[in-house]
């Protein structure tokens, strides 16, 4: 798959003159930004007016369709179910499960196609109607291809049964006959209806011979003169040998019976039994597999693969799978007759009839507008062990490459990205790396969305991504002044620096307001307080308040002193701690020992001696300095009195 298949399609951007001016662009995971520059292509130095807009070009626009979103959502569940099929199952049980999965995928495609068809009919805008109709055609082609691949690659129907499956395939996808039948049978005299013989012919072309016989009986009733030949034609239709699903006859027996029946048809043609009725004679030639007679019905056949199946039905009903491609190629050539070239759909179907799976996937990748079809079909075929030998040159096999492309497209959508996660999970080589790259680019617009992303990362042990998301949420919380949430996220991210920053904000708020916010969080920090020194101090300082409130003054004093002497408390907070010590110093009983009082004095002196020298100050600064000076004097007085009391008390204890 290395060769270049042709020139890529040109995307025209309205208002941008790429021939005149140079373009600049930037790739994203699911889209590209494009704009015009001010530089002319011809003269590099000349500055010319350019288009003032920046354009966003998306590669997977189908993910934004409301109806196709149902396709993506429904198929996601089928995909997950397929991955869980027991690998130990073999033979018929495994094959039946894979066929069931394939049918489930097709039912989802058909449901979306029918809904899209209803929307196209109801569309008021002609342009929208055409767009929806085009999408219906694409979905119809997707189901057509998938159904054929199911018959040839998954069910692997043998000779005889193969033709039955192909007949069902044609009947399902060439369904105009049902509306035509209702129209003819709904008239007063069906045999005189303008489309009566067209209906009978289509029924014969599709192998619906029982229905064709019923229609001929109406002709016999309405025209007694032709009743005899209608009865003969009906008998030929009734006796045509075909392998039914429950039939146990061998292929050899079927071929012998079919040969006798074919010879009988030949005799009727040679005897000119139906010469008086051109319509019946034409039907006889069709049943003999006459190519010229079949090609005369081009309009009723509508496409070459219908022609192929009808041709096989009446010329080689026991065709073997290996011979299909010969008939397919010749049927395509005969039907087109050199008047037109094959369409992309024709090439895909032809590749399927040639049993060239890789060519089918390749052609579908080129022809279809998104990766949904090729990703899911390839995954299913891979489970059928049909792609094991096909590896690509860039690190993964075909299945994984296509699933990665599809999942990347889902990540461009604001809600479908959640489906993409599971597709990445089932790509063993590059899935995790791709998920890490894409999940970092998800915009965390709401906390609910962020929690979803975080849960996904935690379930997959994506440590770096968890930390990154928690940091982002912590920053948002700080900007919104939600300090409790910010601290919680920084702890979850195990980010010591940010936890220190948030702890400082808590302490600053305490200094300004005199109380803590988010007490529940601070009271239940537990081992998380060891993340940073500042967070440890915050937790321990709150513990000091608890002790003080419970009148455990000795424990509170020891903790307060240890916070200062261990230098775990920020220097800017020392004055607050010393002020907190005042009530303990003024207690009737001595709380601080002489040694502890000396340590408090040392801390106070360290704090006052390192105070910066200020220049000229305004009135507010002078007032603040006066308050600080008053606090220092009060502290010195309290410490001196406590020291005296502590020395007397300790001396008395020693003397006794």
Q: Write the pLDDT tens digit of every residue in 190-201.
A: 888 888 899 999
Same domain? For 184 and 307 the reply is: yes
Out of 33-42, 143-152, 583-592, pick the least confident: 33-42
Report pLDDT for 652.
72
Q: What is the mean pLDDT of residues 450-474?
A: 88
Listed residues 273, 303, 319: the one ending a domain: 319
Q: What was the pLDDT predicted at 160?
A: 76
Higher pLDDT, 628 or 545: 545
Cα gap 564→587, rounded to integer Å = 21
Per DSSP, helices labelled H in 271-397 are: 278-287, 291-295, 298-301, 304-315, 324-336, 344-353, 357-367, 372-383
In a domain, 542, yes or no: yes
16 domain residue, yes or no: no
Same domain, 54 and 182: no
Query: 66 or 274, which is more confident?
Result: 274
Residues 473 and 588 grouped into a single domain: no
Q: Is the pLDDT of residue 444 over 90?
A: no
Tokens representing residue 591 in the block? 């709380």
Give pLDDT, residue 519.
Answer: 60
Same domain, 194 and 294: yes
Confidence class for position 644, pLDDT limits 50, 70, 90: confident
What is the DSSP secondary-structure string of 391-442? B-SSSSBHHHHHHHHHHHHHTTSTTTHHHHHHHHHT-TTTHHHHHHHHHTTS
Q: How far apart are CA 440 and CA 322, in angstroms?
A: 50
Of residues 655 and 260, more confidence is placed in 260
Q: Over 60: is that where the pLDDT of 99 sits?
A: yes
Percent of the chain with pLDDT over 90: 30
Residues 521 and 593 reside in one and the same domain: no
**Interval 360-391: pLDDT, tens:** 999 999 988 889 999 999 999 998 888 865 55
Confidence of residue 41 (pLDDT cuts 50, 70, 90): low
**What pLDDT was estimated at residue 91?**
67
Closest to 383 (Cα-Cα) out of 152, 77, 86: 86
DSSP bridge pairs for 27: 32
- Tell me the average pLDDT across 404-428: 90
pLDDT for the residue 108:
95
Measured distance CA(136)–CA(346) in Å, rounded: 18
Please tell me the least confidently modeled range out of 33-47, 454-468, 500-514.
33-47
Question: 36 pairs with which residues across the strands?
Answer: 23
What pLDDT is recorded for position 249?
A: 74
- Co-location of 497 and 546 in the same domain: yes
Q: Are residues 546 and 565 in the same domain?
A: no
- Looking at per-residue confidence, does 429 or 511 come out higher? 429
Task: Please give the residue that has the higher pLDDT: either 222 or 457.
Answer: 457
> What pLDDT score does 653 carry?
63
Q: How many domains does the chain have?
A: 4
The verdict on 513 and 577 lying in the same domain is no
Beta bridge partners of 39: 47
pLDDT class for 124, splitting at 50, 70, 90? confident
Residue 3 pLDDT greater than 60, yes or no: no
Q: Is 121 helix (H, G, I), strand (E, B) or coil?
A: helix
- Mean of the per-residue pLDDT values for the chain? 82
pLDDT value at residue 263 = 92
CB 581 within 8 A of CB 557: yes
Residue 635: inside a domain: yes
Higher pLDDT, 126 or 246: 126
Compute the distance between CA of residue 293 and CA of residue 287 in angstroms, rounded to an integer.
Answer: 10
Among 206-215, 360-369, 573-582, the least confident range: 573-582
Give the H/E segment covering residue 533.
helix 533-549
Domain carrying residue 470: 443-550
Confidence at 491, pLDDT banded by 50, 70, 90: confident
**For 150-160, what is each residue's pLDDT tens digit?**
999 998 888 77
The 31-40 sheet, strands edge to edge: 21-27, 31-40, 55-58
The Cα–Cα gap between 41 and 23 comes to 9
CA-closest candidate to residue 153, choices 361, 440, 435: 361
Q: 292, 319, 346: which is the final residue of a domain? A: 319
Among the listed residues 546, 603, 551, the one whose alpha carbon sits nearest the alpha carbon of residue 577: 603
Arithmetic mean of pLDDT, 99-106: 95
192 and 214 part of one domain: yes
Report yes or no on 586 lying in a domain.
yes
Residue 337 has pLDDT above 80, yes or no: yes
| DSSP-assigned beta bridge partners for residue 32 | 27, 57
Tell me, yes or no, whether 484 lies in a domain: yes
- Residue 353 located in a structural domain: no
Q: So what's the pLDDT on residue 624?
A: 55
Identify whether residues 314 and 173 lie together within a single domain: yes
Whole-number Cα distances in Å, 60 to 90, 106, 406, 609:
37, 21, 9, 68
CA distances from 471 to 435, 493, 521 (A): 19, 6, 18
Final residue of a domain: which of 263, 290, 319? 319
Query: 450 and 309 in one domain?
Result: no
Per the domain annotation, does 244 fall within a domain?
yes
Q: Cα separation of 23 and 39, whole Å?
A: 9
d(CA 554, CA 530): 24
| Across 68-84, average pLDDT | 91
Would 245 be classed as within a structural domain? yes
Q: At 60, is the pLDDT very low, low, confident or very high (cuts 50, 70, 90)?
A: low
Distance of CA 89 to the CA centre of its chain: 28
Residue listed under structure tokens 């805008």: 125
**What is the per-residue pLDDT for 629?**
76
Asked if residue 563 and residue 542 are part of one domain, the reply reads: no
* DSSP helix/strand/coil, 287: helix
């Amino acid at each position: 798959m290395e060769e270049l298949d042709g020139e890529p399609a040109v995307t025209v951007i309205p208002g941008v003159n790429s021939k005149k001016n140079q373009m600049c662009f930037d790739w994203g995971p699911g889209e590209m930004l494009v704009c015009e520059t001010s530089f002319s292509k011809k003269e590099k130095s000349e500055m010319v007016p350019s288009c003032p807009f920046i354009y966003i070009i998306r590669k997977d626009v189908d993910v934004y369709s409301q109806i196709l979103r149902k396709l993506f959502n429904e198929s996601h569940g089928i995909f997950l179910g397929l991955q869980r099929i027991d690998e130990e199952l073999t033979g018929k049980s495994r094959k039946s499960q894979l066929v069931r999965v394939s049918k489930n995928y097709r039912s989802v495609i058909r449901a979306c196609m029918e809904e899209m068809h209803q929307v196209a009919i109801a569309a008021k805008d002609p342009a929208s109607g055409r767009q929806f109709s085009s999408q219906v055609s694409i979905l119809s082609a997707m189901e057509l291809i998938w159904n054929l691949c199911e018959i040839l690659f998954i069910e692997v129907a043998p000779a005889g049964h193969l033709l039955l499956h192909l007949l069902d395939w044609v009947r399902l996808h060439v369904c105009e006959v049902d509306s035509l039948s209702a129209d003819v049978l709904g008239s007063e005299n069906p045999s005189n209806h303008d489309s009566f013989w067209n209906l009978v012919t289509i029924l014969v072309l599709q192998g619906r011979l029982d229905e064709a016989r019923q229609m001929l009986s109406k002709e016999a009733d309405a025209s007694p003169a032709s009743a005899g030949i209608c009865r003969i034609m009906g008998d030929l239709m009734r006796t045509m040998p075909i392998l039914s699903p429950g039939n146990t006859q061998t292929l050899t027996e079927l071929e012998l019976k079919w040969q006798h029946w074919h010879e009988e048809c030949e005799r009727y043609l040679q005897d000119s039994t139906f010469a008086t009725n051109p319509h019946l004679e034409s039907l006889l030639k069709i049943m003999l597999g006459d190519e010229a007679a079949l090609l005369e019905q081009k309009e009723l056949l509508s496409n070459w693969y219908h022609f192929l199946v009808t041709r096989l039905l009446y010329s080689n009903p026991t065709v073997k799978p290996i011979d299909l491609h010969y008939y397919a190629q010749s049927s395509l050539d005969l039907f087109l007759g050199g008047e037109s070239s094959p369409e992309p759909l024709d090439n895909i179907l032809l590749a399927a009839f040639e049993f060239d799976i890789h060519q089918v996937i390749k052609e579908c990748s080129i022809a279809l507008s998104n990766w949904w079809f090729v990703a899911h079909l390839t995954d299913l075929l891979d489970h059928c062990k049909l792609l094991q030998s096909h590896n690509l040159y860039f690190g993964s096999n075909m299945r994984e490459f296509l699933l990665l492309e599809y999942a990347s497209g889902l990540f461009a959508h604001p809600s479908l990205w959640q489906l993409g996660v599971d597709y990445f999970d089932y790509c063993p080589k590059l899935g995790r790396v791709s998920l890490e790259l894409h999940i970092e680019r998800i915009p965390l617009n709401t906390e609910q969305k962020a929690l979803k992303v975080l849960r996904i990362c935690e379930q997959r042990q994506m440590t770096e991504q968890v930390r990154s998301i928690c940091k982002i949420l912590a920053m948002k919380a700080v900007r919104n002044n939600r300090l409790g949430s910010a601290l919680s996220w920084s702890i979850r991210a195990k980010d010591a620096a940010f936890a220190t920053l948030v702890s400082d904000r808590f302490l600053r708020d305490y200094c300004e307001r005199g109380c803590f916010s988010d007490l529940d969080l601070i009271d239940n920090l537990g081992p998380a307080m060891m993340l940073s020194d500042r967070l440890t101090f915050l937790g321990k300082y709150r513990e000091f308040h608890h002790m003080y409130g419970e009148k455990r003054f000795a424990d509170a004093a020891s903790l307060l002193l240890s916070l200062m002497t261990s230098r775990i408390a920020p220097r800017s907070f020392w004055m607050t701690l010393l002020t907190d010590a005042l009530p303990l110093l003024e207690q009737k009983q001595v709380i601080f020992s002489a040694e502890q009082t000396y340590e408090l004095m040392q801390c106070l002196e360290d704090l006052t001696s390192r105070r910066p020298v200020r220049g000229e100050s305004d009135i507010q600064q002078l007032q603040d300095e006066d308050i600080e000076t008053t606090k220092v004097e009060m502290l010195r007085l309290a410490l001196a009195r406590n020291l005296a009391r502590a020395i007397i008390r300790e001396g008395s204890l020693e003397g006794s």
